Structure 1
Amino acid sequence: TDRWGRPNLASTNPDGSDVKPLTRFDDYDVRWPAMGDGRIVFQHKMDIWSYDLATGRAEQVPITLPSDRLQVRERFVDPMQNLGGWGLSPDGDRIALEARGDVFVTRTQKKGLIRRVTESSAARTKYPAFAADGRSIAAWTEVDGEEQLLLYAADNGAAPKQLGRQEPGWHFPAVWSPDGKRLAWGDQRYRLMVTDPAGATTEADRAEYEINEYTWSPDSRYLAYTAAIDNGMNQVRIWDSKTRTVHPASDKLFNAYSPAWDPAGKYLFYLSDRWFNPYLDRFEARFAVMKSAVPVVVALGADGVLPFAPRGDVDPKSEEPKSQEGKAAAKAKPAAPVRIDFDGLADRVVQVPVTPGALSGLRAVEGKLHWVETDPRGMMPADAGDDDERPGGSLKTYDLAKQKLANLADHVLGYDLSMNGKVLVYRTKDGFFRVEAGAMSAPKPDKEGGEDESSIDLAGWTERISPREEWKQMVREAWRLQRDFFYDPKMHGVDWNGVWNQYGSLADRLSSRDDLEDLLQEMFGELNVGHAYHWGGDLRRGKTVGTGLLGADLSYDAASGFWQIRKIYRGDYPDPKASSPLARPDLRVRSGMWLVAVDGKPLTKGEDYLRRLANRANQEVELSVNDSPKLEGARRIVVKPLANDTRTRYADWIHETRAYVDRTSHGQIGYIHLYDMGGFGLQEFARDYPAQWNKHGLIIDDRWNHGGFVAPMIVNQLERKVFSVSGLRYGSYLDTYPSRVFHGYLAALINGQGGSDCETLALEFKDFGLGPVIGMRTWGGWVGIRGDKPLRDGGMTTQPEFGGWDPRGRGWQIEGHGVDPDVVLDLSPDGFMDGKDEQLDYAIQDMMAKITKDPRDLPKAPPIEPRPLHASR
């Protein structure tokens, strides 16, 4: 129990009285107690302890475990599995790659040496950036446990040099000015900073959120960047390094981002969400804006001529050098000073004439623009794609003079341009590819199946790591991330430096990646907050063999040696991923039938039929079924077993519960269960609401909800009011305006296994007076997270960042307490095991009583008054 602070062992009478502490540890929790032979053994710190029930003494058990410690040995890994930031040399002939916390350099053409620039599992290096001379690389590296900006020799010819001493915190990529005299970078404090090679640092600007897009003008004087502003939009701004002043380059009305300089210094390009073409929902009166971004051009000079003007009958004279000598001179000429007239700058804008889309990553080269376009995708896995597939976007090239758009590559996960504007490298899940900057198409192999000359050859690339050093580094980084991003700067009153001393001292005892995960979870637990998670990473996992599942309950009959089908889970038939493969009507399989053979081979006595389905998921399998437990007369069918039948069983439970509510209420009450507040939950609501909107009552089951972020969308739908009622001349169907407004009684069910955004729905139900909230207090974990800063081995930690407080002065909401129901009602264990749901039954009974008293029917149409234009004579 933790009633005295940290969890300790305690004793109590069977009725819960006379609670006494048995241990009194105040440094680490008592964990995993197990009792036997007059003793209780438990974990404390990283040790095993024993508590003697007779003497009342606790003592550490001295354990020596002989082991080869295989997981702590140095080993080689595939760097591509944990690739981070990367960038090109000024001429594009080399690429710097951050992989698992270290930096490597190699060629972008033909096979070459892969040079390891940094080599330390104890300190992470991130975001490498080639200097303008191509000889140095700037990167953020941990020094004494904090990120500092270091300058490395790209050929390892000199020792690293630290550029000043930066404040502790999280840092975004550093970007060099073309003259090599400055680096720009952002941090977690929403600042834009500029550092010179001597280490002097200047704060250029501060925004309302993180600044992580910034680019230098060709002459290195100006810095264009994206800054979040006070209306929730982004604005493109320009910082003048000479005058140390900030100027807006876009207005506040439209979201603007991703600035890019014209190499000639005449224009600034950026992306802007200014095309609002609403997509109408097929079922409800709502809309979504999906493709809103267009590139725009800003003339920097007040006398500048914007592109895409009507041509007239005379072409403008070319300003390009005509002779080869002139071209060479122009090429060698240093960047001309960029002139910007800031008065009216944001108004000197014209849109690039392309179809709007979901655009990002705008860059400019001579006469061309590049950007990435992604197709809008739904939230369900079938449309969004699995995490390991990462569909990426399409890399586009736009010819400004010809006004022609081309698709350069698909499935692009990122791209970069060399500083000289000649080379472009893009990345897909298949690797890196080099093409000419401004190219309108990627080169094709000379013949089918031939070698792709554009592919950067990284074959044989490996990385030596020291796991224990990595684990110690990741403990420190995970601790820093909480320090730098936790929503409460006072860390919930916890001495966070003391927590580091407490848990960081244990890092030397880690013997496996699982130990690290356990240590991080315990460290995060000191914050007493709900969403401080850790998952993933380079965990050692044994090879497993999956089993094909039939989405059905079968029971073994010892007498016959065969298996009887007790229940077939129809689920969401005909969806094959959410229904039993036995549910197909043409198979004519029903409960009570017998499974007697698999692939024509009879099941043997005592044999589990699942053994025959091992490693057979999603493959065709022949089953022999019969009405009786025998082989004679059996019928053969072919099915594809499921890899997982959880979704099938869940969907079946939903259908049975809805049918129960419908049957019990005589069709007057609808039922919707929300699996989560993400794609699945929103899908369930979008699917189940239109068919039940005109019921007299609707129960929203928010129990066992996995959380997410869509609760406000659901509540917005439920709290709408009827403005008007309409009906057609023939038929009895009545609709509302807006369409399908629910006008009956609502109730929500909650429990302690529901948390995060499902608690938003519960509290909004109460605060907005939508209906009673029935059940038990929710989990109480509500401060929101991102999960976008992986550790060096791919593990992910989350930092609770986005809390909220009540606008009526009732303090911070939900976190640490949860949402209390209006009606406190728990499920009895015996009743629940018997299939009874007291919370659901209460909601039905309460709602039926209200419906009986006032059914809230829509009113029938009143008589229409005669309105002849002329009175009859």
Structure 2
Amino acid sequence: MRPFYFAAVRYVASALAFAVSLQPTPARAAATPHIFQRPALSRELICFGYAGDLWTVPRSGGKATRLTIGVGIETTPVFSPDGNTIAFTGQYDGNTDVFTVPAAGGVPFRVTYHPAADYAVGWTPDGKDILFRSNRDAHSRYTELYTVPAKGGIAKPLPLPMAYQGQFSPDAKAIAYSPLPPAFGFDYTNFVSWGNYRGGRASTVWVTTLPGLDSFEIPHETASDFSPVYAGGKLYFLSMRSGRSTIFKYDPVKKAVSQALPNDGPDIRTLAGEGNTLVYDRLGDIYLFDTASGASHLVPIEIDADLPEVRPHIESVAGQVEHVAISSTGLRAAIEAHGDIFTVAVKHGPTRDITNTPGVMEREPAWSPDGQSIAYFSDESGLYELFIAPQTGTSVAGAAPVKKFPLAKEPAYYFDPKWSPDSKKIVFHDNRLNIYFLDTTNGKLTTVGDKNIYGGFSNQNFDVAWSPDSKWIAYPRSMKNHLHALFLYSVDSSQSTQITSEMGESIEPAFDREGKYLYFLASTNAGATSDGLDMTSDLYDVTSNIYVATLAADSLSPVAPELDDEKTDAEAKTEARKAETEHSADTKDAKESGDEKARAGRPAGRPVRIDLEGIQSRIVALPLPQGAYETLAVGLKGSVYFLERPSPNGDRERGATLNRWTPDDRKTEKLAEHVTAFQLSANGEKMLLGLAHPGPENDMGNGGGQPSWVIVPANTPVKPGDGALSFADLKLKVVPHEEWAQMYHDVWRIERAFFYDPNFHGADTVAEERHFEPYVDSIASRADLNYVFQEMLTPFSVGHLRGNGGEIPEAKHVPGGLLGADYEIRDNRYCITRIYTGGDFNPRDKAPLAQPGLNVKTGDCILNINGQDLTASLDIQQPLEGTAGKVISLRLGSADGKNVRDLSVIPIASESALRNIDWIENNQRTVDKLSGGKLAYVYLPDTGEGGFTNFNRYYFAQTDKEGAVIDERFNAGGQVADYFVEVLDRHVESYWAPRYGVIEHTPNAAIYGPKVMIANEISGSGGDALPWLFKQAKLGPLVGKRTWGGLVGIGPIPVLMDGGHVTAPSVAFFSPKGDWDVENHGVDPDYPVEQDPKAVSEGHDPQLEKAVSLVMEQLSRHSPAEVQRPAYPNYHK
């Protein structure tokens, strides 16, 4: 790990040994738990991972020796058969690759160079080659096993369809392997927690002979079997079939499975072995298991560790900005970053950390209109509360103390605080669908109206607006038809009144500054998109208009007919006073401090008169065309600011256009492009913009070529570089163990606040939180915290429960280059056996060697790359390292060096899209061949954008076919694909006979013949829902394997302090019959079909072939009859 801090920390594992039966909690010394992971075993040593590095210790235990050190993670050690060398996975050179290092210590040697992630798995019994897994050649979400010479060179795939981990038999005549990873997974930056998993993706152990490819599956139940290890003539593996993961063994003579080690405690995560001894890890401890006696004992490990990640240190958090709020006159912005609240001046004054609280999370700052206070949510007490701090913080002499307002007695999260114009009240909402306002003068918390009723995947909008006199709150509320209507809440009477019809989607209310009008957005075509879970919502481009409600019955609309009459003296004086008020002197820049000046004497907003009766009849649209509008605000002189996207479903990362409509001339002016967010200052003269201009970090510490955030005048178009906020001084002191403890408890709060089942599937969250807390006090790295998260969330036993990220050191990524081809060694040269062209109509997916004019063909050999001679002794990826996106030179010719020619190409960073397209189009050709051209083939990679695009592209282009094969293997989910099923279920409603041409039918875009769907164990989430819907609609049989089984969905969750994430499954599926269906089981195929290794190696796809045969059988029984036009009518008989 990073060597620039030093902390010597000593951990000792207890030497307490016990036999056969493990205790429910790990034995450890004096409450100092530790996290040792993924041990490997030789005759003399144990190698294991700790704090991101590899260590060795004698088998008897004792003081460990650090073996590796480097930025990034070193993991998955495996000893060579002679015990002298350790292969492992490392990230030294900006990529995840296989390395070796002498067991006695030395300089690591890089073995693989492919830009895809390569993970060390094992060795061949002769010790010449290393076994590793990679998805380098995969067409989808799976890995394969490869061997590569330990000294480096070309990697060779094993002839297995999918493989995650494995071990060769001692005689090298077979391999025991698991095609898939277990339900839980951990690779330091990502983790999955799914205890007691019983879905279709439960891993299995197979044994396949080499080279014969005869295969059998170890007798399997519904639980995961994984980590196969040969020892003492038996095949040992880990299994969850008895509940907790523990050791089982398979006797090849008796062909029977039995439990080798009872375990009522934490799950055993990995298993390795040497001779008759196995080594495993369980909740950070390492144990040895003697296969002969069945005895197991804890290995006592002592470490004197340099732990750089536990050291307090100063850190820039410019890249961790989560929320930004503008000050009252735009002199500063309040910023949430890494759990603290900062203020940054546009021109003058220092950056201030106004909270400066390591180990406390502060979220969502909001600056008061009087400029003197900043509100935010803090978890200082253990629950989130509303705090109000002086704008300069409390460290300034004479500063007022922070005001603290408790909110709820149970875990909850709060969002979008907005001050009232009088700076006395704050409105906000929570994850429980409530809207509140807090009176800061007395601490009274009031619920605004009735809570919203839809809390799942329905569109939610909580944008609220205060009237200028702070007496009214306008807010949208979800109605029973899933659309939002606007309501007005009276602070004085505590009554809410609906003011817009639920026949449209009304959102984004905004009062004008005089209190005469309420502007808002409304759409009349949003109904079909009200629940984003439905894929049918993707069919519609939602547009809206900007409307305005006149609040007083006797006031004219801002778009009333214009009359050019001279004004009376009274009207002229009123306008003059208004202009004077709107341009008060307090908006001038302050001096060097850049702080807001107190405006206690500022006149309060005049009382707003709202005539509720008949208000719906006083709503009119602004004279603007329909558009993809969002985020509405009203500024000085009634100017209306709004964002407009070029298309409703366009690329949101590119931002939108900020426009301003002015009522005086009723014209629209473009102010800025690529805007992701904007906010007007309280005085209306400045605006804060978030700009979507990603790029290299600039000298201001921001993450884009143009500043990410700017504060600029609100009345003129934005010029590049104006008003840039510098984040260069966003720095704070990080105290790792304090913030790790905060994040630990924050994750528990998140689950308690968002998890769909208030009983947590029976898990005792109080006991679990107490049990794992000691680990947080002694972990050695941020990756260890992810490990704790994984372990502590496992008892929830639910899908979609996972996490990622956090401040984990990583090496600077070096993008390897790929040419989009496969190779074989011929006469010591790399010769091309296949070029991936990218297929038809895929403009962004062309292999470098398939570019027009190069005329590269299979059989050509690559002799030289960028002047470096290329032979079989060198991994072809070695000279391609770091070349993605850059022009390189290639010398091609025959293997004997003749017919030489030079050409220039640009390597790509990944071939996954090319290989996926090739697989799809090969399947299409197979179906076409097997069916004699009668069947369509449609592949659906997910139930999101990719699946939607593929379905529309491939299904409707094949409506001339008599039947269809719908392939959803490896489907990654997304939405619920109701759209697919509705289209697949179309029936002929009518025929239409033209004078000339063929007879047509309605609906025209359909395939009316028999259909079949293929799914596999990796199809999940939306890929579970799709075959379930397919079967419910009785559209045809399901072929393949039982699906993943994950239909408790997830939604947005607050980010953790250091940018890490964790999910909280919050919406659960159940069937119309009232059953919790699919979750933790999957969807069963009508025709189970395995992808037999031998058949696949011979070029077959058993699942696809079975699917075709089923549809062809149906066609043979029910061949579609030719439609005959009836006799023409004669109405004159």
**Pairwise same-fold verdict (TM > 0.5):** yes
Shift of 1:652: 0.8
Q: Which runs of 5+ in 1 are unaligned?
A: 280-284, 446-451
Structure-2 change in CA distance of 1:547 and 1:286 (3 Å): closer
Shift of 1:377: 6.5
User: 8 Å contact 1:86–1:97 — kept in the other structure?
Assistant: yes
User: Using the alignment, how far apart are the partners of 2:1067 and 2:537 within structure 1?
Assistant: 27
Answering whether residue 1098 of structure 2 is matched by residue 834 of structure 1, we say yes
Structure-2 change in CA distance of 1:93 and 1:265 (3 Å): same
Task: Find the counterpart in structure 2 of residue 48 from structure 1.
Answer: 286
Structure 2: which amino acid aligns with 1:481?
I
Structure-2 change in CA distance of 1:415 and 1:313 (3 Å): closer
Structure-2 change in CA distance of 1:607 and 1:727 (3 Å): farther
User: Using the alignment, how far apart are the partners of 2:332 and 2:875 within structure 1?
Assistant: 59
- DSSP 3-state at the match of 1:740: coil
Answering whether residue 628 of structure 2 is matched by residue 364 of structure 1, we say no
- DSSP 3-state at the match of 2:983: helix
Shift of 1:76: 3.4
User: 8 Å contact 2:283–2:791 — kept in the other structure?
Assistant: no
User: 8 Å contact 1:73–1:466 — kept in the other structure?
Assistant: yes
> 1:611-650, aligned counterparts within 5 Å?
611-626=878-893, 628-650=894-916
Structure-2 change in CA distance of 1:394 and 1:667 (3 Å): same
- DSSP 3-state at the match of 1:413: strand
Structure-2 change in CA distance of 1:19 and 1:31 (3 Å): same
Structure-2 change in CA distance of 1:582 and 1:142 (3 Å): same
User: Using the alignment, how far apart are the partners of 2:1122 and 2:774 within structure 1?
Assistant: 68
User: Using the alignment, how far apart are the partners of 2:515 and 2:289 within structure 1?
Assistant: 76
Shift of 1:126: 0.6
Task: Find the counterpart in structure 2 of residue 571 from structure 1.
Answer: 838
Task: Find the counterpart in structure 1 of residue 541 from structure 2.
Answer: 290
Structure-2 change in CA distance of 1:187 and 1:324 (3 Å): closer
Structure-2 change in CA distance of 1:778 and 1:398 (3 Å): same
Structure-2 change in CA distance of 1:736 and 1:41 (3 Å): same
Shift of 1:669: 1.2
Q: Deviations over 1:288-343 (max 9, x none)?
A: 44251121111112222212122356477683536977865797542111111212
User: 8 Å contact 2:864–2:892 — kept in the other structure?
Assistant: yes
User: Using the alignment, how far apart are the partners of 1:855 and 1:78 within structure 2?
Assistant: 70
Answering whether residue 632 of structure 2 is matched by residue 339 of structure 1, we say no
Shift of 1:739: 1.9
> 1:38-437, aligned counterparts within 5 Å?
38-108=276-346, 110-155=347-392, 156=394, 157-167=399-409, 168-197=411-440, 198-205=442-449, 206-209=451-454, 212-274=462-524, 288-311=539-562, 314=565, 319=571, 321=573, 328=580, 333-366=603-636, 367-376=638-647, 384=651, 390-429=653-692, 430-437=707-714
Task: Find the counterpart in structure 2 of residue 475 from structure 1.
Answer: 744
User: Using the alignment, how far apart are the partners of 2:1125 and 2:577 within structure 1?
Assistant: 86
Decide which moves more: 239-248 or 58-67.
Answer: 58-67
User: Using the alignment, how far apart are the partners of 1:224 and 1:97 within structure 2?
Assistant: 26
User: Using the alignment, how far apart are the partners of 1:18 and 1:415 within structure 2?
Assistant: 63
Shift of 1:142: 0.6
User: Using the alignment, how far apart are the partners of 1:810 and 1:519 within structure 2?
Assistant: 35
User: 8 Å contact 2:849–2:905 — kept in the other structure?
Assistant: yes
Task: Find the counterpart in structure 1 of residue 591 from structure 2.
Answer: none
Answering whether residue 1112 of structure 2 is matched by residue 855 of structure 1, we say no
Answering whether residue 985 of structure 2 is matched by residue 716 of structure 1, we say no
- Which of 30, 35, 45 in structure 1 is aligned with 2:268? 30
> 1:419-498, aligned counterparts within 5 Å?
419-429=682-692, 430-437=707-714, 439-442=715-718, 444=719, 452-498=721-767
User: Using the alignment, how far apart are the partners of 2:752 and 2:466 within structure 1?
Assistant: 31
Structure-2 change in CA distance of 1:420 and 1:345 (3 Å): same
User: 8 Å contact 1:103–1:126 — kept in the other structure?
Assistant: yes
User: 8 Å contact 1:298–1:349 — kept in the other structure?
Assistant: yes
Answering whether residue 1075 of structure 2 is matched by residue 822 of structure 1, we say no
Shift of 1:164: 3.4
User: 8 Å contact 1:750–1:773 — kept in the other structure?
Assistant: yes
User: Using the alignment, how far apart are the partners of 1:211 and 1:853 within structure 2?
Assistant: 53
User: Using the alignment, how far apart are the partners of 2:819 and 2:483 within structure 1?
Assistant: 51
Decide which moves more: 397-406 or 597-606.
Answer: 597-606
User: Using the alignment, how far apart are the partners of 1:726 and 1:747 within structure 2?
Assistant: 29
Q: Which runs of 5+ in 2 are unaligned?
A: 1-238, 455-459, 530-535, 585-601, 693-706
Task: Find the counterpart in structure 1 of residue 927 from structure 2.
Answer: 661
Percent of residue pairs bearing the same amino acid type: 30
Q: Deviations over 1:172-219 (max 9, x none)?
A: 132222223222111111111122223221222212146632222111
User: 8 Å contact 1:11–1:22 — kept in the other structure?
Assistant: no
User: 8 Å contact 1:291–1:356 — kept in the other structure?
Assistant: no
Q: CA RMSD for the aligned pairs? A: 2.7
Shift of 1:688: 1.0
Answering whether residue 801 of structure 2 is matched by residue 532 of structure 1, we say yes
TM-score (norm 2): 0.71
Task: Find the counterpart in structure 2 of residue 844 from structure 1.
Answer: 1108
Task: Find the counterpart in structure 2 of residue 502 from structure 1.
Answer: 771
Task: Find the counterpart in structure 1 of residue 164 from structure 2.
Answer: none
Structure 1: which amino acid aligns with 2:778?
R
Q: Deviations over 1:813-844 (max 9, x none)?
A: 32121111122232223323333222222221
Decide which moves more: 842-851 or 857-866.
Answer: 857-866
- Which of 788, 791, 812 in structure 2 is aligned with 1:522? 791
User: Using the alignment, how far apart are the partners of 2:280 and 2:855 within structure 1?
Assistant: 55
Structure-2 change in CA distance of 1:728 and 1:535 (3 Å): farther
Shift of 1:42: 1.6
Structure 2: which amino acid aligns with 1:433?
V
User: Using the alignment, how far apart are the partners of 1:78 and 1:736 within structure 2?
Assistant: 65
User: Using the alignment, how far apart are the partners of 1:325 and 1:837 within structure 2?
Assistant: 81
Structure 2: which amino acid aligns with 1:595?
I
User: Using the alignment, how far apart are the partners of 1:19 and 1:277 within structure 2?
Assistant: 57
Structure-2 change in CA distance of 1:752 and 1:453 (3 Å): closer
User: Using the alignment, how far apart are the partners of 2:824 and 2:579 within structure 1?
Assistant: 84
Structure-2 change in CA distance of 1:797 and 1:16 (3 Å): farther
TM-score (norm 1): 0.91
- DSSP 3-state at the match of 2:783: helix
Task: Find the counterpart in structure 1 of residue 258 from structure 2.
Answer: 19
Structure 2: which amino acid aligns with 1:672?
V
- DSSP 3-state at the match of 2:786: helix
Task: Find the counterpart in structure 2 of residue 448 from structure 1.
Answer: none
User: Using the alignment, how far apart are the partners of 1:662 and 1:54 within structure 2?
Assistant: 56
- DSSP 3-state at the match of 1:611: coil
Structure-2 change in CA distance of 1:616 and 1:18 (3 Å): closer
Residues paired across the two proteins, number: 841
User: 8 Å contact 1:277–1:289 — kept in the other structure?
Assistant: no
User: Using the alignment, how far apart are the partners of 1:496 and 1:735 within structure 2?
Assistant: 62
Answering whether residue 812 of structure 2 is matched by residue 543 of structure 1, we say yes
User: Using the alignment, how far apart are the partners of 1:287 and 1:25 within structure 2?
Assistant: 48
- DSSP 3-state at the match of 1:625: strand
User: Using the alignment, how far apart are the partners of 1:215 and 1:501 within structure 2?
Assistant: 42
Shift of 1:792: 2.2
User: Using the alignment, how far apart are the partners of 2:882 and 2:1108 within structure 1?
Assistant: 45
User: Using the alignment, how far apart are the partners of 2:757 and 2:244 within structure 1?
Assistant: 22
User: 8 Å contact 1:186–1:211 — kept in the other structure?
Assistant: no
Q: Deviations over 1:622-654 (max 9, x none)?
A: 32223x312232123332222111111111111
Structure 2: which amino acid aligns with 1:342?
L
User: 8 Å contact 2:463–2:508 — kept in the other structure?
Assistant: yes
Task: Find the counterpart in structure 2 of residue 561 from structure 1.
Answer: 828
Shift of 1:18: 5.2
Structure-2 change in CA distance of 1:585 and 1:358 (3 Å): closer
| Greater RCO (CA < 8 Å, at least 6 residues apart) | 2
